[in-house]
């Protein structure tokens, strides 16, 4: 008796082999690397040529090179070379590339082909910054209402309806006061047909006062909120790209919050300054009468200024401002219905429409440029004193010919690629009026602490694990060996599952693994104590093994399910670090059910099964 | 090798009055401590800023306090963290300052002292985030208790479920009381540890309950008191060994895991000890006091599941 069918052994072998395979990449670690990505499409042969030349000049050698989607990764043998290489590459490439330090998994090809990759390390283990930002939604809605104030003003004026005042009400909504009841009853249907998202109701405060309250529908308000959040995420993405961080995380959390994780970033002050920069857009005409070359040589006409595009192409642009980004409501990339090429369509608000219509009326056939302006503040040290400096970075992001008088909606066509259209739309949105954000949480871990956390975490797992192994061996002898093999497999299984899920390992996650190691033997202790009890009651060894596993099962099941309930609650409520703990704990519980019951039984059956035995070494 | 004699029949439940008095005193003391001392909530809950720094040489705490008191950060709590070179600075939320700039400004102020400082960790938590966390943390604990209540009531019986909950509340209060006593930082990881303690202690309790259920069906001629006592004795060995292996790894974590998870490991160590005690001296006595009897477990028996060895 006590024999297991062959298929169970096969199953256990398959699980063992797979878990070892998928846990393996973690042993190889990661190589220091530099990641080069282009914000304007492909990384080409030409890029590689430039990079190689730059590295050659500095006498830097790289170990390997890989291509991804719009990215190129160069591996280096150590961190010092990696830093030098980054600086050299940065200097050589123009700023349409972002060059970032990275860690590339050193997984061998045959493993990578199976999709096996190492776990991600959390910021507390590799160092970096974690920000939680909150979008000021009240401000976003206030701004939307202010926009309606100007839109309604334009609308009523165009329709020839006389009103006294239009103002944003402090309690929300827009209050319009009319001169008489007649113009009010004229206005209401006009407003409602022009702006479907608005509802207008009459307010009678007293005699001779004809007011109407305009409220934005709930749907439009929630759309405003979503837009405010999206807009900020877009802006943050662009800023983060500029920081040159590899594998940044920018994610929505809840209705009005954004998580920004920047692995490896140490200078939080600079990171905050860059994230907090404000951007605007300016629309100006290109000066086509004067010569660009002579402007480069220093003879800039007084009515114009010399600008550079993102690719470094010089452009002479008139000083007169036509429009700013504040009037842009939306910008989206798409396909032009006429030409079939990529385009970006821009929507302006009422005031912007009027200004733009006037400004572009006489400019058809000429070129208009869109300039992206960022106001950054940087803290620099000057003569031993720390000075906050504000710096303005301006670049031309679009230069297009005006084909007709432009109004509320217009489009920019003739773009090279859908990618470029998308980028331009992103930049336009980023430069449009966005709701302000505030940092409400910040967690920074230095690189040395990160490394220490890894070392200490690893050490405590190993020591705790060894202590348990020794204890089980001494206390349960042969059965202890079975439990130890199961425990080891359990550990490998957890790591392989975490790698397979591409979960992020954090310090609390390691704590979860340690705790699992301690608790995973519980199932075996329950079974073995039951076996001892059966033996003591005078049952035969085989019957005792059988009864021990049988009777302990429902106990193990109940006990583990309740622990699982607690850790699921942890998971659902948890923020980052607690989630990591809950994930490893839950995985550990589930894995231990398999290893402690099925795997130990298989080993015990292999040792004692199918033969006569006098006594058990337990 | 055996740590606990299997044939022993220690009259655990005979001492239940004594245990009740003991637990009662501890609970009262804990509640008193929680009111008088209060928990030393970390910035996760209160909002504010933590800055962890490493100095080249042993840090002069007095000097650091002096520098900070002369800056806009007066009232900062400065203490050693792990070693003499490492310093942890805790700042309350400051209204006038733009919250996100505090951390960078602290390092700037301190770097004027001329020593080389390495910034190891900054944690800034806005006040409203802390408030939300306190709320969701308490909610999480309630949810966990409620989920467990329902599961145990379904799998066992309502009296068991109440016994388990009383034991869990007992464990939570004592662990919190311990943290109020030693004034260790109560942060997010400690909260996680307490939720894990709920899981562990329950695990322990369920094992005893499972035996009680089984023995009610086996020991037809015994009183509920005898059944419970025997069950506790029979599971004693397992209770001690599992507690021991768990404590082994927790001590490894406490001594080797680094300063950051000290609180976490501490909460679990206390929780495991208290949880082991409560599964013997609290959960079963309460269930017994609520009047558990053989009849209560009959419906389960009628379903006739997994009882091949019924006499």
- Whole-complex ipTM: 0.85
B21 in contact with A at a CB cutoff of 8 Å? no
- The rounded mean pLDDT for chain A is 83
| Residues paired with residue A128 on neighbouring β-strands, in sequence order | A263, A445
Give CA–CA dist A513/A530, Å, rounded: 27
B75 in contact with A at a CB cutoff of 8 Å? no
Which of A439, A54, A528 shows the shortest CA–CA distance to A257? A439
Displacement of CA B209 from its chain's centroid (Å): 22
**CATH of span A277-443:** 3.30.1360.200
User: Residue A17 has what pLDDT?
Assistant: 94
Tokens describing residue A32: 């220091």
| Residues paired with residue A72 on neighbouring β-strands, in sequence order | A36, A67
Give CA–CA dist A349/A321, Å, rounded: 17
What average pLDDT does the segment A544-565 reach? 88
Which comes out higher in pLDDT, residue A449 or B300?
A: A449
User: Residue A20 has what pLDDT?
Assistant: 93
Nearest residue on chain A to B203, judged by CA atoms?
A559
CATH homologous superfamily, domain A6-25+448-608: Multidrug efflux transporter AcrB transmembrane domain (1.20.1640.10)
Pairing of strands A257-263, A278-286: unpaired
Task: Please name the residue that has the structure tokens 């299997």.
Answer: B6
Give CA–CA dist A523/A480, Å, rounded: 12
Q: Are A528 and A548 in contact (CB under 8 A)?
A: yes
Query: Residue A242, exposed/middle/buried by CB under 10 A (0-12, 13-18, 19+)?
Result: middle
What average pLDDT does the segment A459-463 reach? 89
Q: Which helix (H) or strand (E) holds A496?
A: helix A447-500
What average pLDDT does the segment A124-130 reach? 84
Q: Are B267 and B181 in contact (CB under 8 A)?
A: no
Distances (CA, A) of A387 to A57, A198, A391, A420, B303: 36, 48, 12, 37, 78
Q: What is the pLDDT of residues A589-607, one digit of tens each?
A: 899 989 999 999 999 999 8
User: Residue B304 has what pLDDT?
Assistant: 46
Which comes out higher in pLDDT, residue A325 or A96?
A: A325
3-state secondary structure of A112: helix
What average pLDDT does the segment A282-307 reach? 83
User: Residue B310 has what pLDDT?
Assistant: 45
Q: At residue B258, does pLDDT exceed 90?
A: no
- The rounded mean pLDDT for chain B is 84
User: Residue A384 has what pLDDT?
Assistant: 56
User: Residue B70 has what pLDDT?
Assistant: 80
Q: How confident is the model at residue B141 (pLDDT cuts 50, 70, 90)?
A: confident
A242 Cα to chain B: minimum distance (Å):
20
Q: Are A199 and A212 in contact (CB under 8 A)?
A: no
Of the candidates A554, A558, A577, which has its C-beta nearest B189's C-beta? A577
Q: What is the pLDDT of residues A519-551, one digit of tens each?
A: 788 899 999 999 999 998 889 999 999 999 999
User: Residue B199 has what pLDDT?
Assistant: 82
Phi, psi of B296 (to 5 degrees): -60, -30
Give CA–CA dist A440/B47, Å, rounded: 9
Share of chain A residues as helix, strand and coil, in percent rounded to the nearest 5: 50, 25, 25
Give CA–CA dist A322/A306, Å, rounded: 17
| Residues paired with residue A333 on neighbouring β-strands, in sequence order | A344
Q: At residue B282, does pLDDT exceed 90?
A: yes
Angle at A276 between CA A250 and CA A271, to 5 degrees: 65
DSSP line for A539-567: --HHHHHHHHHHHHHHHHHHHHHHHHHHH
Q: Tell me which of B245, B251, B275 to substitute to probe the interface with A (most A C-beta atoms closer than 10 Å).
A: B245
Asked if the domains at B13-41+129-302 and B48-125 fall in one CATH topology, the answer is no
Q: How confident is the model at residue B101 (pLDDT cuts 50, 70, 90)?
A: low
Of the candidates B119, B133, B192, which has its C-beta nearest A508's C-beta? B192
Q: Are A360 and A406 in contact (CB under 8 A)?
A: yes
Residues of B in contact with A553 (CB under 8 A): 306
Q: Which of B57-66, B97-106, B271-280 has the lowest mean pLDDT?
A: B97-106
Q: At residue B275, does pLDDT exceed 90?
A: yes
Angle at B17 between CA B16 and CA B19, to 5 degrees: 60
Give CA–CA dist A456/A454, Å, rounded: 6
3-state secondary structure of A351: helix
Q: At residue B217, does pLDDT exceed 90?
A: no
Strand order in the sheet with A314-324: A304-308, A314-324, A278-286, A367-382, A385-401
Of the candidates A472, A519, A573, which has its C-beta nearest B136's C-beta? A573
Note the pTM of the prediction, 2 decimals: 0.78
3-state secondary structure of A219: helix
3-state secondary structure of A178: strand
Q: How confident is the model at residue B281 (pLDDT cuts 50, 70, 90)?
A: very high
Which of A330, A284, A276 shows the shortest CA–CA distance to A305? A284
Asked if the domains at A6-25+448-608 and A30-105 fall in one CATH topology, the answer is no
What average pLDDT does the segment B135-154 reach? 84
A551 in contact with B at a CB cutoff of 8 Å? yes
Strands (E), chain B: 40-41, 48-55, 77-81, 83-91, 117-125, 185-186
Q: At residue B295, does pLDDT exceed 50?
A: yes
Q: What is the pLDDT of residues A44-66, one digit of tens each?
A: 777 788 888 888 888 888 888 88
When mean pLDDT is compared over A9-18, A447-456, A517-526, the highest value belongs to: A9-18
Q: Are A525 and B238 in contact (CB under 8 A)?
A: yes
Give CA–CA dist B285/B164, Å, rounded: 10
What average pLDDT does the segment B79-103 reach? 74
Q: Tell me which of A520, A559, A581 to substitute to probe the interface with B (most B C-beta atoms closer than 10 Å).
A: A559
Which of B91, B111, B116 shows the shortest CA–CA distance to B101? B91
Q: At residue B53, does pLDDT exceed 60?
A: yes
What average pLDDT does the segment A415-441 reach? 75
Contact B249 A468 (CB under 8 A): yes
Task: Please name the residue that has the structure tokens 């006593």.
Answer: B181
Which of A515, A523, A519 shows the shortest CA–CA distance to A482? A523
A465 in contact with B at a CB cutoff of 8 Å? yes
Length of chain A counted residue by residue: 618
Within 10 angstroms of residue A574's Cβ, the number of other Cβ atoms is: 23
Which comes out higher in pLDDT, residue B6 or A402?
A: A402
Displacement of CA A362 from its chain's centroid (Å): 45
Which comes out higher in pLDDT, residue A43 or B287?
A: B287
A515 in contact with B at a CB cutoff of 8 Å? yes
A365 in contact with B at a CB cutoff of 8 Å? no
DSSP line for B205-269: HHHHHHHHHHHHHH-TTS-HHHHHHHHHHHHHHHHHHHHHHHHHHHHHHHHHS-GGGHHHHHHHH
Of the candidates B2, B199, B253, which has its C-beta nearest A460's C-beta? B253
Residues of A in contact with B125 (CB under 8 A): 440-441
B37 Cα to chain A: minimum distance (Å):
26
Give CA–CA dist A352/A322, Å, rounded: 10
User: Residue B311 has what pLDDT?
Assistant: 43
User: Residue A487 has what pLDDT?
Assistant: 93
User: Residue B302 has what pLDDT?
Assistant: 44
Tokens describing residue B119: 């910034």
Domain ranges of chain B: 13-41+129-302, 48-125
User: Residue A574 has what pLDDT?
Assistant: 66
Of the candidates A507, A553, A565, which has its C-beta nearest B148's C-beta? A565
Q: At residue A266, does pLDDT exceed 70?
A: no
Give CA–CA dist A264/A103, Å, rounded: 10
Give CA–CA dist A453/B267, Å, rounded: 19
Which comes out higher in pLDDT, residue B217 or A384?
A: B217
User: Residue B7 has what pLDDT?
Assistant: 65
User: Residue A432 has what pLDDT?
Assistant: 67
Task: Please name the residue that has the structure tokens 């075996």.
Answer: A524
A50 in contact with B at a CB cutoff of 8 Å? no
CATH homologous superfamily, domain A30-105: ACT domain (3.30.70.260)
| Residues paired with residue B54 on neighbouring β-strands, in sequence order | B86, B118
Pairing of strands A367-382, A385-401: antiparallel
DSSP line for A242-276: HHTBSS-EEEEETTTEEEEEEET---HHHHHHHHT
User: Residue A433 has what pLDDT?
Assistant: 57
What average pLDDT does the segment A5-33 reach? 90
Q: Which helix (H) or strand (E) holds A433?
A: none
Tokens describing residue A567: 């850790």
**CATH of span A138-221:** 3.30.1360
Q: How confident is the model at residue A380 (pLDDT cuts 50, 70, 90)?
A: low
Contacts of A184 by beta carbon, 8 Å cutoff, 6+ apart: A176, A178, A202, A210, A211, A212
Q: Are A36 and A72 in contact (CB under 8 A)?
A: yes
Tokens describing residue A398: 């679009």
DSSP line for A514-535: HHHHHHHHHHHHHHHHHHHHHH
- Neighbouring C-alpha atoms within 13 Å toward the C-beta of A121: 24
Range 282-311 of B in CB contact (< 8 A) with A: 306, 308-309
Torsion of CA A284, A290, A291, A292, to 10 degrees: -20
What average pLDDT does the segment A125-138 reach? 85
Q: Percent of chain A beyond pLDDT 90?
A: 14
User: Residue B32 has what pLDDT?
Assistant: 96
Tokens describing residue A72: 């190129």
Query: Residue B11, exposed/middle/buried by CB under 10 A (0-12, 13-18, 19+)?
Result: exposed
A142 Cα to chain B: minimum distance (Å):
22
Contact A272 B100 (CB under 8 A): yes
What average pLDDT does the segment B190-211 reach? 87
Within 10 angstroms of residue A225's Cβ, the number of other Cβ atoms is: 18
Domain ranges of chain A: 6-25+448-608, 30-105, 138-221, 277-443
CATH of B48-125, one of 3.30.70.3400, 1.20.140.10, 3.20.20.10, 3.30.460.80: 3.30.70.3400
Residue A596 DSSP symbol: I
Tokens describing residue B303: 């379903």
CATH of B13-41+129-302, one of 3.20.20.140, 2.30.40.10, 1.20.1640.10, 3.40.50.2300: 1.20.1640.10
Q: Which of A225-229, A301-305, B126-130 has the lowest mean pLDDT?
A: B126-130
3-state secondary structure of A176: strand
Residues of A in contact with B129 (CB under 8 A): 132, 440-441
Q: What is the pLDDT of residues A172-213, one digit of tens each?
A: 888 888 888 888 888 888 888 888 888 888 887 666 678 888
Task: Please name the residue that has the structure tokens 């329709």.
Answer: A159
User: Residue A484 has what pLDDT?
Assistant: 94
What average pLDDT does the segment B75-82 reach? 83
């Amino acid at each position: 008796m006590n024999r297991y069918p062959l298929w169970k052994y096969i199953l256990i072998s398959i699980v063992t082999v797979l878990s070892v395979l998928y846990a393996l990449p973690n042993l190889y670690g990661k190589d220091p690397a530099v990641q080069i990505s282009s914000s304007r499409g492909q990384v080409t042969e030409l890029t590689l040529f430039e990079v190689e030349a730059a590295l050659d000049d500095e006498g830097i050698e790289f170990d390997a090179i890989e291509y991804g989607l719009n990215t190129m990764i160069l591996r280096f043998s150590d961190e010092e070379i990696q830093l030098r290489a980054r600086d050299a590459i940065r200097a050589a490439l123009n700023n349409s590339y972002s060059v970032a330090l990275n860690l590339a998994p050193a997984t061998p090809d045959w493993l990578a082909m199976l999709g096996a990759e190492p776990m991600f390390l959390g910021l507390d283990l590799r160092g970096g910054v974690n920000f939680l930002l909150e979008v000021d939604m009240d401000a976003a809605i206030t701004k939307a209402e202010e926009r309606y104030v100007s839109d309604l003003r334009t609308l009523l004026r165009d329709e020839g309806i006389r009103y006294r005042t239009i103002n944003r009400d402090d309690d929300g909504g827009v209050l319009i006061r009319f001169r008489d009841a007649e113009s009010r009853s004229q206005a209401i249907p006009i407003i409602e047909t022009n702006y479907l998202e608005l509802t207008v109701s009459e307010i009678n405060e007293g005699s001779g006062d004809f007011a109407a309250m305009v409220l934005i529908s709930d749907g439009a308000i929630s759309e405003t909120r979503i837009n405010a959040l999206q807009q900020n995420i877009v802006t943050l993405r662009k800023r983060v790209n500029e920081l040159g961080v590899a594998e940044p995380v920018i994610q929505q959390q809840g209705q009005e919050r954004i998580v920004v994780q920047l692995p490896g970033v140490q200078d939080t002050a600079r990171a905050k300054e860059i994230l907090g920069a404000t951007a605007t857009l300016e629309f100006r005409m290109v000066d086509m009468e004067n010569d660009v070359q002579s402007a480069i040589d220093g003879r800039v006409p007084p009515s114009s200024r010399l600008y550079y595009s993102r690719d470094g192409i010089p452009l002479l642009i008139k000083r007169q401002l036509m429009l700013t980004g504040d009037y842009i409501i939306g910008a989206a990339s798409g396909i032009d219905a006429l030409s079939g090429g990529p385009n970006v369509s821009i929507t302006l608000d009422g005031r912007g429409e009027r200004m733009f219509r006037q400004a572009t009326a006489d400019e058809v056939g000429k070129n208009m440029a869109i300039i992206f302006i960022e106001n950054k503040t940087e803290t620099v040290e000057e003569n031993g004193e720390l000075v906050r400096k504000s710096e303005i970075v301006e670049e031309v992001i679009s230069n297009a010919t005006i084909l007709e008088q432009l109004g509320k909606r217009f489009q920019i066509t003739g773009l090279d690629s859908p990618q470029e259209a998308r980028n331009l739309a992103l930049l336009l949105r980023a430069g449009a009026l966005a709701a302000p954000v505030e940092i409400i949480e910040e967690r920074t871990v230095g690189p040395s602490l990160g490394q220490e956390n890894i070392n200490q975490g690893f050490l405590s797992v190993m020591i705790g694990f060894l202590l348990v192994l020794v204890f089980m061996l001494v206390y349960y002898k042969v059965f202890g060996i079975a439990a130890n093999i199961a425990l080891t497999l359990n550990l490998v299984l957890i790591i392989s599952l975490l790698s397979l899920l591409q979960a992020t390992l954090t310090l609390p996650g390691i704590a979860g693994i340690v705790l699992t190691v301690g608790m995973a033997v519980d199932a075996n202790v329950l079974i073995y104590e039951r076996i001892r009890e059966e033996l003591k009651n005078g049952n035969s060894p085989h019957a005792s093994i059988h009864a021990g596993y049988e009777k302990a099962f429902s106990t193990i099941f109940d006990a583990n399910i309740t622990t699982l309930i607690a850790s699921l609650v942890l998971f659902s409520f948890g923020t980052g670090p607690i989630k990591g703990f809950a994930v490893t704990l839950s995985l550990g519980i589930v894995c231990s059910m398999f290893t402690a019951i099925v795997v130990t039984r298989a080993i015990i059956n292999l040792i004692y099964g199918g033969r006569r035995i006098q006594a058990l070494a337990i | 090798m055996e740590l606990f004699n299997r044939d022993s029949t220690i009259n655990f439940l005979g001492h239940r009055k004594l245990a009740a008095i003991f637990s009662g005193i501890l609970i009262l003391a804990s509640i008193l401590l929680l009111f008088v001392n209060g928990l030393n909530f970390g910035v996760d809950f209160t909002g504010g800023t933590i800055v962890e720094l490493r100095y080249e040489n042993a840090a002069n705490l007095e000097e650091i306090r002096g520098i900070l008191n002369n800056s806009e950060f007066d009232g900062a709590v400065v203490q050693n963290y792990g070693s003499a070179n490492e310093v942890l600075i805790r700042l309350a939320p400051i209204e006038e300052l733009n919250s996100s700039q505090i951390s960078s400004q602290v390092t700037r102020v301190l770097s004027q002292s001329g020593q080389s400082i390495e910034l190891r960790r900054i944690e800034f938590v806005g006040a409203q985030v802390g408030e939300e966390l306190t709320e969701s943390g308490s909610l999480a604990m309630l949810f966990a208790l409620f989920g467990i209540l329902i599961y145990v009531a379904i799998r066992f019986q309502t009296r068991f479920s109440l016994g388990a909950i009383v034991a869990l509340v007992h464990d939570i209060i004592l662990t919190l009381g311990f943290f109020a006593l030693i004034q260790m930082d109560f942060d997010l990881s400690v909260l996680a540890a307490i939720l894990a303690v709920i899981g562990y202690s329950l695990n322990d309790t369920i094992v005893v309950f499972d035996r009680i259920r089984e023995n009610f069906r086996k020991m037809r001629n015994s009183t509920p008191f005898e059944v419970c006592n025997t069950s506790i004795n029979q599971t004693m060995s397992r209770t001690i060994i599992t507690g021991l292996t768990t404590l082994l790894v927790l001590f490894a974590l406490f001594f080797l895991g680094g300063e950051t998870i000290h609180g976490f490991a501490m909460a679990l160590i206390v929780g495991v000890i208290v949880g082991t005690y409560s599964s013997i001296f609290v959960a079963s006595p309460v269930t017994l006091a609520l009047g558990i009897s053989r009849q209560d477990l009959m419906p389960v028996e009628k379903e006739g599941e997994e009882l091949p060895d019924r006499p």
